[in-house]
Amino acid sequence: MPDSTLTLARTGGIELARIVYTEEQIAARVEEMGAEISAAFPEGDRLLVLGLLKGSFIFLSDLVRQITRPLHVDFLVAASYGSGTTSSGKVDLLYNPNAEFVGRHVILVEDIVDSGTTLSRLVPMLEERGPLSLEICTLLHKHVAADLIREPRWVGFDAPHEFLIGYGLDHAEDYRHLPFIGSL
């Protein structure tokens, strides 16, 4: 099956404007990021990798397998998009983890930093829990947030100002399963 036919089949017949990052590009960058994170923390440090669901689940899964430090994984569920293609500006926290933060380095894993609304709400809340450090790791960064409370320490790719789907990113819950990142 030709690539364009396969892409149409995977997207349910929706044509993409383009494939922005291939499966191979993503895998190579995630491997590099895992090495960077591993090098940032001394042996024996207690890491908590906190995934922001739902968008980060595929990225987080691949990332933690590349980190060579002992770690625990937990999740947050926050919603700010609904079924639209732009942030609503309102963040609803739907699941709050019970994991212990005190004495641990916490890495908040995001799929994409866009408006910055979600991070601006979550970072102060997570800092109140007393982690040794709180860092942000994101697969994609659009660099459009006017008042981003904290810049991510690790960024997979600088993202174009397009609506992106695939590798966990969705449009109204569709297209998360795509192994690449494409533009609608």
Residues acting as catalytic residues: 114
Element (H, E) at 10: helix 3-10
- Which domains, and CATH codes, for the chain? 24-163 (3.40.50.2020)
> Residue 43: is its pLDDT beyond 50?
yes
131, 106 contact by CB (below 8 A):
yes
> Residue 2: is its pLDDT beyond 50?
no
Q: And the tokens for 14?
A: 């929706």
Q: How does residue 184 score in pLDDT terms, banded at 50, 70 and 90?
A: confident
Q: What is the pLDDT of residues 86-144, one digit of tens each?
A: 554 566 667 778 889 999 999 999 999 988 888 888 899 899 999 999 999 999 999 99
Rounded Cα distance between 40 and 96, Å, is: 26
Q: At what angle do helices 23-40 and 57-64 cross, to 10 degrees?
A: 60
Rounded Cα distance between 110 and 91, Å, is: 14
Average pLDDT value for residue range 27-38: 98
Q: Specify the pTM.
A: 0.86
